[in-house]
Amino acid sequence: MLEFMQRLFEEREILSFDAQDNRIMCFPHIINIAVQHVLKKMSSVEAPENDDDSEDLIDESNADEGRGFGQSFEAACAQDPIACLRRIVMKIRSSGQRRDAFMTWIETGNKSGLFVLNNKPVQIQAKQLLRDVRTRWDSTYRMITRCIEMRLVSLHALP
């Protein structure tokens, strides 16, 4: 990483940075702080402090308002997609029965060919959803990535 930064500086004729003699202390921590500031501007709800924090921080009074697959990208972003994902993941993970139902739904859907992508049945690997927490800088990315992997499961209502 530092060698890459040195090349970038050299391209801009900044020769005072040497990757061998300089190191950035707590670089992952700095990245985490920057990511949390960006996410704070993108979402109305902050990530929980740790995995044990299971408080529902999101007002669900109008959670289903304006929801739909036919909406525009701007409309979806205005609905705070990160907060929506956090709410879904927290609800499923906060209950052992919901986690079991989620896994059962994946198994049932795989057996019955319920999950279809590009008109072909696909198998969804049985995985739990991941929560994001402020102390892990890539946890929001991992939460979103896992939800994208499981998107076919969400197209069908749980029994």
Mean pLDDT, the chain, integer: 77
- Rounded Cα distance between 159 and 149, Å, is 20
Nearest to 86 by CA among 23, 147, 30: 147
Mean pLDDT of 48-54: 58
Q: What is the pLDDT of residue 69?
A: 54
Domain ranges of the chain: 43-154
Kindly state the DSSP code that residue 120 receives in the 8-state scheme: E
Q: What is the pLDDT of residue 5?
A: 79
Whole-model pTM?
A: 0.61
62-99 residue pLDDT tens = 444 445 556 676 776 677 788 888 888 989 999 999 99
Burial profile 97-115: b = 16 or more Cβ within 10 angstroms, e = fewer: eeeeebeebbeebbeeebb
Q: Residue 9's pLDDT band (boundaries 50, 70, 90)?
A: confident
- Looking at residue 159, its pLDDT comes to 47
